[in-house]
Copies of this chain bind each other. A is one copy, B any other.
Amino acid sequence: MAHELHEKGLRLTPQRELVLSAVRSLGHATPEEVAEKVRSTHPGINLSTVYRNLETLENVGLVLHTHLGHGGATYHAAEELTHLHLVCSDCGAIGDAPIDAAANFVNTLSDDYGFKTDVTHFAIYGLCAKCAEKNDQKKRTDGKTK
């Protein structure tokens, strides 16, 4: 970590270490959640420091952010971003799928449109298996009662 920072003239501070280790231990996390985690052991750390450090750590390539919904970004340690996020529009559950599942899609976009897709940056949105089934049942019931 010190290496990546020093390469760009940046410094290794305790706050930076804490933010990075919070992101690593949380898996997916919003800035707010990172702040909460960091503060659970070091209450003095300011929210804006967390925001700034997430940005800095992203610039040096140690963390990445993904959009899972509404607006807020969620952060990941760079080395952990190895899966797609399947976000359920109904229950909000966040599922995973291997990046390979999108390999053909990515190739198609590259071959036909020259577009180099980063499939992890945005969530894949839809209905999880559970909610899809629930909706099917409801639809059948509605059909009968009408």
Question: B-contacting residues of A (Cβ < 8 Å)?
Answer: 67, 69-72, 86, 89, 95, 97, 101-102, 104-105, 108-109, 112-119, 121-129, 132-133
Contacts and interface: CB of A to CB of B under 8 A. Distances in A.
Shortest 4 CB-CB contacts between residues of A and residues of B? A114-B129, A105-B105, A71-B71, A121-B125
A128 to B, nearest CB: 6
A76 B115 CA distance: 23
A72 B115 CA distance: 23
B117 A125 contact: yes
A67 B122 contact: yes
A116 B89 CA distance: 10
B124 A117 contact: yes
